Amino acid sequence: MISASKIKSVDFYRKIPRDLTEASLSGAGLSIIAALSMMFLFGMELNHYLTVSTSTSVVVDRSSDGEFLRIDFNISFPALSCEFASVDVSDVLGTNRLNITKTVRKYSIDSNLNPTGSEFHPGPIPKVMNHGDEHEGEYGEGSVSLTAGNFDKYTHNYPILVVNFYAPWCYWSNRLKPSWEKAAKIIRERYDPDMDGRILLAKVDCTQEGDLCRRNHIQGYPSIRIFRKGSDLRSDSGHHEHESYYGERDTDSLVTTMETLVAPVPIESHNHAVDNNSSDVTTTTKRPAPLAGGCRIEGFVRVKKVPGNLVISAHSGAHSFDASLINVSHAISHFSFGKKLSTRMLSEVRRLTPYLGESVDRLNGRVYFTKHDDANANVTIEHYLQIVKTELMSRRHFPEHRLVEYEYTAHSSLVHSLHIPVAKFHFVPSAMQVLVTENPKSFSHFITNVCAIIGGIFTVAGILDSILHNTLRLVKKVELGKQF
């Protein structure tokens, strides 16, 4: 059996009896300094261990997240009607998608960007095939010309008033004119205004009655609106609760629609308010007219990862637009690329790279308004976006292998256009990507450094104390030698 004396012989830290040691004021001072130094360096080493360390590299984008890129947006246009607002996408490969509606929602807004109702017309718009009669023949003036002075009088005197808002220079308005006048003449003969008085067809020249057309939010010609007595809300912004007609424009179709509109209205009701009910035959050719002159467009589109354009403009295959009256001023609430990160993943991104994300949503909160006058007519607003993809490799476990974020730079400009003004977003994805990798920290390396700090300071302090103590003893000996 090994004796205790033999075990003590391997003691690295042999103790000196306390009676043989001597405390000094200089040693106490060095001990305090050494302890403070140990604490300071230990804090520095701990902070370094806890600080996230990353390495950044630029590589060719060979990611496996697909060849498509998602664009999320929420943009408000105070002067562009939801009736004609269209979201289009094109790219350098020849892709051209017009009037995207599946993933896009539109809401009518007023000039202050406040919503005025629920989602605007979620259903499809019937496509107009017949824009007028094939054989025009002779026709007279069958419809009544309305002005700002008599418009309210007619809308409140007839249970159903159908108005054609047109412009003489418009090709589609001129195509419609013969069939409109013929239909108006036939309806007047069948439903005499003096004897029957249930329906009347009228027209408004928007080049002469600009204020009246703006009050009814007319932006495309021709616009056929169906006003119902008793259903309109009179306010500063005009009559709201009425419908727009999008059916065929030949005489027979117009007459059939008008007869369907007037059928449920009893003859004696032309002196009273009527219900806002109509036959199902016309529901496919009508939809609610825009509640206000502005539109908020929100949703997302998927585009290929090649240079392309996202365009928002007034578009219709059966209407004409006065380019000088189109104003695409807009406020951007949100515009981003890629998938939205969850709160947890977003916090992880901020943990790895606090500086990352400063260019993620560069356009958010930006306002691009132009005062619509002669100097600012036909103004297209263009945004040039350079997109860079950033992937982060984290030590923590996430459902996705990598955290992906898209940053972009944005440069905007106003361009005078000869065509209908649009809001255009040019996007150019970069062929390179930034790869940020979190570097792991070794705990054993941290412990080793802590031991080195403690042992090193203790040893250095001991050496300094020994030198100082021996120096003081030598000085005392010299002084004693001089006295003797």
User: Does the active-site annotation cover 170?
Assistant: yes
Q: What are phi and psi of 166, to 5 degrees?
A: -135, 170
Residue 318 CB contacts under 8 Å (≥ 6 apart), including other chains: 128, 131, 172, 246, 249
> Does the N-terminal peptide bond of residue 222 adopt cis geometry, omega within 30 degrees of 0?
yes
Give the integer Cα–Cα distance in Å for 440 and 445.
11
Q: Write the DSSP assignment of 385-423 as a string of letters.
A: EEEEEEEEE-SS--SSSSEEEEEEEEEEEEEE-SS--EE
Q: Which of 241, 325, 324 is nearest to 276 (CA)?
A: 241
- Cα-trace Rg, the chain: 40
Q: Which of 387, 307, 304, 392 is nearest to 346 (CA)?
A: 392
Q: Name the catalytic one among 82, 170, 206, 213.
A: 170
Give the integer Cα–Cα distance in Å for 45 and 454.
12
Tell me the CA distances in angstroms from 265 to 229, 269, 289, 423, one per residue in order: 11, 7, 21, 44
> Rounded to an integer, what is the distance from CA 484 to the centroid of its chain?
96
- Quickly list H helices, 191-232: 210-215
Cβ 170 vs Cβ 289: under 8 Å: no
List the 160-166 sheet strands across, edge first. Answer: 144-145, 199-205, 160-166, 223-228, 243-245, 286-288
Helix/strand/coil percentages in the chain, nearest 5: 30, 30, 40
Residue 51 CB contacts under 8 Å (≥ 6 apart), including other chains: none
8-state DSSP, 321: -
Give the integer Cα–Cα distance in Å for 51 and 31.
30
Tell me the CA distances in angstroms from 251 to 126, 130, 197, one per residue in order: 18, 10, 21
Residues annotated catalytic, as ranges: 170
